[in-house]
A and B are shown apart, each in its own frame.
Chain A
Amino acid sequence: MFTVSTTITKQIPVGGKWSSRISKGKQLTFTALEDGANVSLLLYNANDTDERYNMPDTLKAQHTAHLTKGNVLMSDNGRVLASIIEDSLGWHDSISGYSTRQLINQQYGVTTYQEQRNDWYRSGEENFEVELFRNGLTKRDLVPVVNLFSKVYCDVDGNMHFVPGHCKKGDTITLRTEMDVILILSNTPNPLDTNGQYPSVPVELSITDAESIQDHDLCLNHRPENRRAFENTWENEILTKGGMN
């Protein structure tokens, strides 16, 4: 008998990109296959892409400048796009943005497809432009990203510091989608990582069905703000699904 695995596994290579529509209730585990991973991530509401991940709303509602287990990624409409349900690292970067073409050329030298073929150095900027376009969006829709696996902290004067060696081979973070989303990923260097030659390593993404959310859920109860954002999300689901034919 032919059976279809319900777990989808993707390997995102050095400099790689990936996007997909992903339904509510999926569990996405990212695993660093080497030390020093950085995956820049964007999320949009698949049914209304004007609604998207909003860095300030996410951070100020949870009184944090970094993201870890218990936190949720909120949209500009006060709803939850995805929750962070597991995390081996304790800190993912929310403030450094994606690497631009200009920055990649400055830091690692100009590379071209003509010379280097598929080993040329990709930028977050171009990866996002392509995947946004694939999903009917443009650079106009670019907003601050989440940089999975990276730690960037600020000193009291506001200076930003990238922490080398934060992510080890085998580190993981698991997201759970709380609405139908478009996920866009760019496996390109953190813009503040000045270490080494094009610091990018392969990352595995494994997607399966999540367990349904329970009332004692960690992300739901992390702060009262989180619960209200979930309530906004569920209300929207009631308003936009079901009813008489």
Chain B
Amino acid sequence: MAVLNHALSERKTEETVYNKTIPAGDGWTYVLEPGQVLRLVDLEGNQAADTLFYDADHPSDHYSAVNTIQRQGNVYLSTGSVLVSESGKELVKIVADTCGRHDTLGGACSAQSNTVRYSHDVLPMHNCRDTFMLQLSKYGSEFTKRDLAPNVNFFMNVPVTPEGGLTFEDGVSAPGYYVEMQAINRTLVLISNCPQLNNPCNAYNPTPIQVLIWDK
């Protein structure tokens, strides 16, 4: 079993500057100022929070999964992980985590990938990439589909085996588990609270997550 980097937070919910619940299947964006702390709470357990990050001052510079894992030499994110952009800019650092590890390789579900993974007739089902696109479309022509680089799946368990296999397993998360990240630079955060009904990434039961923000 992997070593999990559990770290509790001292931050108090009554001191937040922002507190919102995101139902399953919904999206959310927010610009974190340097020093601000974002906590994601897996309210009911085993949910997947598909999350992308952009340099808010240069939105064409997206989160890079491979630059991030290459720098830390490990495919999972947890306390101490620094999430970097394609250009190498440090966007956010994970400062607390009661889940222990988060996926960097599973990406986001889409209508098209669902047809490949399950069957052609699931094309109409709601999916994360539609949520990402609906959220980014709010920014007019600033973003296009090109900006949908592979994302983080907070709370999701996608073990990579030493033999090179990739499996989706029931999560290491549970009700109330949270992950907290502090912005190093101005960072646009984009979340799709995963609506997937076809695999165990969210225990076949998509549930709400909570987002809380502190000024420091």
What is A's interface to B at a CB cutoff of 8 Å?
A: 50, 54-57, 59-61, 63-66, 74, 76-79, 91, 95-98, 100, 102, 138-145, 153-160, 191-192, 225, 228-229, 231-232
Contact = CB atoms under 8 A, between A and B. Distances in A.
Given A138-B60, A228-B120, A60 B168 contact: yes
B164 A65 contact: yes
Interface in B154-191: 158, 160-168
Given A59-B105, A96-B70, 9 more contacts: A54-B150, A56-B107, A57-B113, A60-B107, A77-B112, A97-B69, A140-B60, A228-B116, A232-B115
B88 A78 contact: no
Contact of A158 (B2, B119, B146, B164): B2
Contacts of A97: 64, 66-67, 69-70
12 contacts: A55-B105, A56-B108, A60-B106, A60-B168, A63-B166, A76-B112, A95-B75, A139-B60, A140-B61, A145-B66, A158-B160, A160-B75
Interface residues of B, number: 52
A157 B74 contact: yes
B93 interface: no
B12 interface: no
A141 B66 CA distance: 14
Nearest to A48: B145
A66 B164 CA distance: 6
Interface string B79-119: 00000001110000000000001000111101111111101
A144 B105 CA distance: 10
Contacts of B161: 65, 154
B214 interface: no
Given A65-B105, A65-B166, A143-B149, A57 B70 contact: no
